[in-house]
Amino acid sequence: MIDFKRPSLVMAVFQGDPMFKYNEASFDEIIKLPTKKTEPQLLAITYCTLITVELILKRIINQSGGHDIPGMLINSSRIHPKFQKELTTLSRQFRNILQSIYVQGRDNTSQPAPGESYPYIRYFRHTSDWLSPCHEEDELFSLLNKAKEIRVFLKKNIRQAI
């Protein structure tokens, strides 16, 4: 149990790996489910995969807030310049795929998902719910595959991210 009256202990637990590793492991169990483009749980598995990527990146750059995966990839490239080209490319590809997905805006109109905030995909506009602009599963599946690619790259090449 964490003693929240001891700020140094709270900060050590927050910044250290145990909390993020527990969270990542929890979502890892969900993303192990087999995923095909036509699976009804594609959105949930994509979202959980993005959470694991975010948590890995937050450990790499020692950041606690935000959901800007492309920005965190760029920040990671500054910490690990050996992988700057790959991380920059992954950042650009991820942002492009994310922005190609239409989501429901606050004003009830269709809009591209912001490239710096993947949680908007919770409001994915699927053809079964909307006339246009909307999508089939192709864009989500592309985002899932890119997130998996990023995750594998980080775990393989940036050891302290594990």
pLDDT digits (tens, 9 = 90+) for 27-39: 888 887 767 777 7
Q: What is the mean pLDDT of the chain?
A: 83
Q: What is the mean pLDDT of residues 132-158?
A: 90
pTM for the full model? 0.82
Q: Number of structural domains, the chain?
A: 1
Q: What is the mean pLDDT of residues 65-71?
A: 94
Residue 117 or residue 36, greater confidence: 117
- Can you give the pLDDT at residue 14? 42
In angstroms, how far is CA 156 from the centroid of its own chain? 17
Residue 18 — pLDDT band, cuts 50, 70, 90? Answer: low
Residue 11 — pLDDT band, cuts 50, 70, 90? Answer: very low
Using CA atoms of 91, 94, 96, 98 in order, give the dihedral in degrees to the nearest 10. Answer: -140
The verdict on residue 77 lying in a domain is yes
Whether omega before 133 lies within 30 degrees of 0, making that bond cis, reads: yes
Question: Domain range for residue 156?
Answer: 7-161
